[in-house]
Structure formats: C-alpha cells, structure tokens
Amino acid sequence: MTTATTAGIQYRFTRCVTDPAVVGEALSKPNYGLNTDAPREIVMSDRHELADNLGVPVVWMRQIHSDIVEVVDETHSSHENSITADAVITRSPVALAVQVADCVPVLLWDEATGTIGAVHAGRAGVEKAIVAKAVSTMLSMGCSTRDIVAAVGPSICGRCYEVGDDVFETAVSKRPELESRTSWGTRSLDIRAGVLKDLETCGVTNVIQDDRCTFESAHLNSYRRNPRCGRQIGLVVNRKL
C-alpha cells in the first residue's frame, strides 16, 4: 500500500496480491470491488477492515463510467456502493474511495478549504472530461487552482491499452491527446494523458504521479490482464476534520 500524508491530507493507492493460485476465490488480496465475482462477504470484510484501520467512515461509489460528480457527507458513508457517481467531493470527516483495475484513480484536495475529492477516470469518463468537472465542482465550492493538489494513481498505460479502430477513432476525435501505440505496434489509448491534460487545462499544476502500469504490474489488478480480477483503490481523507 502506497500511503502519504501532506498538510493533514492522507492519501494512498493500494497494492494487492493478484496471483490466482494464492488468492483463490477472493480474486485479489485485498479486494474492494463489490462488482467483481468474489464472494460478497470477502469484499465486505476487506471494506470493514479498511474503515476500522482508518478510524473514519468511507464513501464508496457505484461507478458507471459517467461524468456525474456528487458532493457527499457522512450520510453517504457505508460499506456498500452508496452513491451513483464517478467523482465525489466532500468537506466532511469521511474517506473517499475510488475502485479501479485499469482506469485512472485521481485524488484531489485543497487544504485551504478542507475539500477533498476522488475521481474514477476510465476511457468514457476521460472522453467526458470527468476530472475537469470534478475540479470545476471544487472551484464552485470556493477552492482555488493554486491550492488544489492532484494525485494520479496507477492505471493501464498507452503501451498496453490496445483498442479497436472504432473505439480509437471515436476517442481520438474527441480527445486527440489520447492517441498512442502499443509496444507491439497497434492502435491504443493513453487515458492518463487525458487526465493530465484536463488538470493542465484547469490550471492545476501541483500534480503527484504514481505512473505504474496496472497491466504490467503483478501487484495491481488489471481487467485487461485478467477479467476475473479484484479491485484496488485510491483513497483520500482530511485528517484535520
């Protein structure tokens, strides 16, 4: 688990064991994904343990590859996927989690206002500028781009995210910066490039990156590598609240 604390904000991008011979029906250890094929009780146990270790409740999203951004508080905390969205923002004493297995987890915070956010940025979300919309929501709450910090976590990279011609052409027509090639020479998309472009366009310059590729890392779930996989998370909490 990669954990860091800066100015009272704690954030992390979890790692996991993914070897099927070791993890069995859990799919990964830990596995935070209720939408996976793992037994529900295993995932719920991992979520309960996480909240207990944090000492604060966690808000989990039902992620649908949308551009929906929701402002949440303690009433949305649960061990279930309690709110349908692909980005959540809060000033309440809760942790925000984003579940991933190739998509880009983006964590946002502004210490000056005590605002934090978590974003699920997959291909569809990047095409819809989900990260820019999350930043815009923070700005509407009184945040400033000079104070916002973004942590961009592990995701599938452009060398590995091969797509068909139709998907490639549609995505690149909307977001030219996504254009890439695989290491074996076929068309691919670099969704991280779209996330970074949105942050740049919004004026967010303080960006922390963990640029490991999920497809290439044995310690991260990758749906492309194994569709029967678990989910790791990005997590952020304001310890000053």
**pLDDT the model gives residue 8:** 86
Q: What angle do CA 224, 49, 81 make, to 5 degrees?
A: 55
Given a cut of 90, whether residue 5 has pLDDT beyond it is: no
Domain 2-238's class? alpha beta
Model pLDDT for residues 9-64, shown as the tens digit of each residue? 999 999 999 999 999 999 999 999 999 999 999 999 999 999 999 999 999 999 99
State what percent of residues in the chain have pLDDT above 70. 97
Average pLDDT over residues 142-150: 97
3-class DSSP state of 199: helix
Q: Are 147 and 117 in contact (CB under 8 A)?
A: no
Confidence tier at 135 by pLDDT (50, 70, 90): very high
Model pLDDT for residues 192-225, shown as the tens digit of each residue? 999 999 999 999 999 999 999 999 999 999 999 9
Given a cut of 90, whether residue 72 has pLDDT beyond it is: yes
Characterize the bridge pairing of strands 206-209 and 148-152: parallel
Enumerate the domain spans of the chain. 2-238
